[in-house]
Amino acid sequence: TGGKEVLTRLDEVPPLPASFEPPPALAESVTLADTCIWIDPLDGTIEFVRNNLHHVCVLIGVAVRDRPVAGVVHQPFVGGEEGTVTYGALDAGVFGDLAPAWGGPPEQLKLAMELKHTTNPRVKAAVASVEGAGEPKVSQGCGQNLLKVL
C-alpha cells in the first residue's frame, strides 16, 4: 500500500452541505451518557490480509439514546489518494464523494451479504421471504454491503 495511512484526519473530511440542518434527534440536548460512537477501524479484515484493499472500509456509527442517527463509511483505498467517503444522518440524507454525491431512496429493495452467508439455510429462507428484493448483492465486509444497498 506504499505506507498509506488508513485513517483520515477529521478536519480533512468533506463538510456537510451548507443546507444541512441537524436532524431533530441530534439537535436535542444530548449528554455523553446518551451517545454511543462506534468505530471499526478495519472493516473487511480478511480482505485486508488478502490484499483485496477495495473491500476495506473504516466505519463510524453514532447512536443517540440507543437509536442510530449518523454514520460514515470511508474507503481508504478507493478513489485516489484521499480515499472515498460516504456519510449520512437521520432526516438529512446520504452524501459523499461519488457522483451523484447524494441520492434518494432506492426504487427497489436491495439486499447485500457476505459470501460466507449465502449458503446458510436460515439466511436463504429469510432472503426468499422478502418480496421483490431479487438476488442479494454479494461482497465482503459490512461497509461494502452497506454501500451496495444505497
Q: Is the model more confident about 73 or about 31?
A: 73
Q: Is the model more confident about 17 or about 65?
A: 65
| Average pLDDT value for residue range 104-125 | 80
Q: Read off the pLDDT band of 133 (50, 70, 90).
A: confident
Amino acid at 22: P
SS3 (DSSP) at 78: coil
CA distance 91 to 147: 18
Query: Which of 73-77, 96-100, 103-107, 138-142 has the lowest average pLDDT?
Result: 103-107
What pLDDT does 99 receive?
66
Q: In whole angstroms, how far apart are CA 51 and each of 37, 55, 70, 139?
A: 28, 9, 29, 15
C-beta atoms surrounding 24 within 10 Å? 10
pLDDT in tens, 40-64: 888 888 888 889 888 888 999 888 8
Report which of 70, 41, 47 is spatially closest to residue 141, judged by C-alpha positions. 47
Mean pLDDT of the chain: 76
pLDDT in tens, 92-107: 778 888 766 666 666 7
Residue 148 has pLDDT above 50, yes or no: yes
Q: Read off the pLDDT band of 19 (50, 70, 90).
A: low
Which pairing describes strands 112-113 and 137-138: parallel, antiparallel, or unpaired? parallel
